[in-house]
Amino acid sequence: MKKYLFILSVILAFLLSGLSGRILWAEDVVTIKRTAVIPFGIFTAGDISINVTSLISDSLIKNEFKVVSQDILENFLAKRRIRGTEFLDRSVIREMGAVLETDVLLLGSVDLFEDGENPQVAINAQMINCFDGSVVWANSISRTGDDFATFLGLGRITSLKKLVGITVEELLSNLPSIVNSAGSSVTPIEITHAGFFPDVLRGGETTRLLIEVKEITGRLLDIKAFVLDSEIDLKTEDGIWYAGTISAPAIDGVYPLKIYVLDQLDRLFSMDSAASLTVHNSWPEIALSFPHRLVSPNNDGINDYIQFFPELLKAVTLESWQVEITDKAGNIVRSEDGFGVLPAGFIWKGDNNKYKTVKDGTYFCRLFVEDKAGNRTSTVKEKIIVDKTPPETFVVLAGENEESLTLSLEIKDISEIADWEVIVYDRTGTEAGRFEGKGNIPATIVCPIKKTKKDLSPEKANMFVYSLEIRDIAGNRLQIEKQPLKPLELEVTEIEPEKKKHEWVEDF
């Protein structure tokens, strides 16, 4: 029967939240009577030692505030292992208010503290509402001794202690006198932690919910948790941590956790946005882009590395990523992996996982990713060419007559040819022809020549020379300086001698 009454209360809470956007309770204000001061510290300058915390406490008492004893406050902080203001979350502040019976908490810092002819001090402070953890007041002030000087320098403050006292009074001169004691966001029980593990998954998969409860000003009578209209069966062993499991909804989306607590006075409180569950069923959409696909790792400053960029085409939270570069046989030569957000880009210098330069040839790059829901996908194989070797060339004198030479050229290279130049010199060493171009070099080049009687002497028969420069698109360069043009060697087929017929000899 009690369970049904609770569910009925939850339905009523939904109706109320639908009308007003929240569950409303009476909102009261109270006069600030008691405050706790988180230590500001004791500061020294030369022989001067000033307890700023005491000065602030005295100023509060002077303004008719009651101040929690520092011994009692420090005992509270020590028991809860609170070593700094970064540990003061909403639940701790509210617990402090309930345990120490304080309305507000004052905290801050001394940012500047200098003595001298012109002393300087700067202090900031905040007042926190111990009912709901909100900031109700804040101020910051800095002063120097010269600030108080009048005409001819009269009135200048030279005492650091006096300056600090005046600065503290000014800092606290406009403190509020009232704060809200209760409101729609104030509950007698705090949910200090709530989360799904995992919090991103595929539809239908099971996840575990953990909730940590802290009683502040009331006792917990019951607690319920829902995702949509599915109630999560919560169990606890210590009354602090509650756990349960749920199957994720089938459809993609973000599903908030709704928590309802019932205190010992049968008051129902709802708590939204404590946690959320994300369902993601589809694969991540990714791509790799390449400004160029050639790498020539020979340290010549041209294409010594290749850069490529991963892209997440649709927003999704990634769990991990991996980049693999494989050879034609599918063997991994280079890989890198990581977790979370994709890097802005990758650089490959043509080396393997042992940082040794790989052989020339064709390689393939792929990006693999897995999102937090466990969906895994990869890009298509992207081809990369490694070419660190200059072009290989064969140049021969294919023909000669009284007017011209015919050169036969054969080029071997993994990459395409970017540009080339061939210079032919006659037997006198004079440039006979210069040929150049972009792209592939022609298979034959005809160079006109002028013959002289001197040219026809037998000892000058093989004195035609050439120079050559070829550069491929990877940046590899071949240079040949004045090499003799050798004539084309015709393949000679050896004629096998005629085999003699077997002669039968009768020798009895």
When mean pLDDT is compared over 273-282, 322-331, 401-410, 476-485, the highest value belongs to: 322-331
- Backbone torsions φ then ψ of 384, nearest 5 degrees: -130, 140
CA–CA dist 4, 244 (Å, integer)? 20
Q: How many helices (H) and strands (E) would you count in the chain?
A: 5, 35
Q: State pLDDT tens for residues 19-75.
A: 333 333 345 788 899 999 999 999 998 888 999 999 999 999 998 999 999 999 999
What's the pLDDT score for residue 26? Answer: 42
Mean pLDDT across the chain? 86
Written as one string, the DSSP assignment of 98-142 is: HHHT-SEEEEEEEEEEE-SSS-EEEEEEEEEETTT--EEEEEEEE
C-alpha–C-alpha distance, residues 459 and 55, integer Å: 111
As a whole number, mean pLDDT of residues 380-402 equals: 92
In 3-state terms the chain splits into helix, strand, coil percentages (rounded to 5) of: 15, 45, 40
The confidence band for 134, taking pLDDT boundaries of 50, 70 and 90, is: confident
Order of strands across the sheet that contains 34-37:
66-67, 34-37, 104-114, 120-129, 135-144
**Confidence (pLDDT) at 274:** 77
The pLDDT score that the predictor gives to residue 51 is 95
> What pLDDT, on a 0 to 100 scale, did the predictor assign at position 20?
31
pLDDT at 23: 38
Highest mean pLDDT: which of 231-235, 399-403, 487-491?
Answer: 231-235
Q: What is the pLDDT of residue 366?
A: 96
Instruction: Find the mean pLDDT for residues 429-453.
Output: 86
Tens digit of each residue's pLDDT (9 = 90 or more) over 466-493: 999 999 999 999 999 999 988 876 554 5
Burial 416-431 (b: 16+ CB within 10 A, else e): ebbebebbbbbbeeee
What is the percent of the chain where pLDDT is above 70?
A: 87
Residue 500 has pLDDT above 60, yes or no: no
Q: What is the pLDDT of residue 2?
A: 45
Query: What share of the chain in percent tops pLDDT 90?
Result: 65
How are beta strands 306-312 and 286-289 bridged, if at all?
Answer: antiparallel
pLDDT recorded at residue 499 = 53
Q: How confident is the model at residue 132 (pLDDT cuts 50, 70, 90)?
A: confident
Q: Which residues of 362-388 are buried (b: 16+ CB within 10 A; e: fewer)?
A: ebbbebbbbbbbebeebbeebebbbbb
CA–CA gap between residue 317 and residue 297 (Å, rounded): 35
- Residue 449: pLDDT band by 50, 70, 90 thresholds? confident
Task: Tell which residue, 120, 122, 127, has the closest CA to residue 109.
Answer: 122
Instruction: Read off the pLDDT of residues 146-205 as tens digits, 9 standing for 90 and up.
Output: 999 887 678 899 999 999 999 999 999 999 998 877 554 578 888 989 999 999 999 999
CB crowding 45-57: b at 16 or more within 10 Å, else e: beeeebebbebbb
Lowest mean pLDDT among 175-179, 453-457, 460-464: 453-457
Which domains can be identified in the chain, with CATH numbers?
2-23+184-279 (2.60.40.10), 29-180 (3.40.50.10610), 286-386 (2.60.40.4070), 392-484 (2.60.40.10)
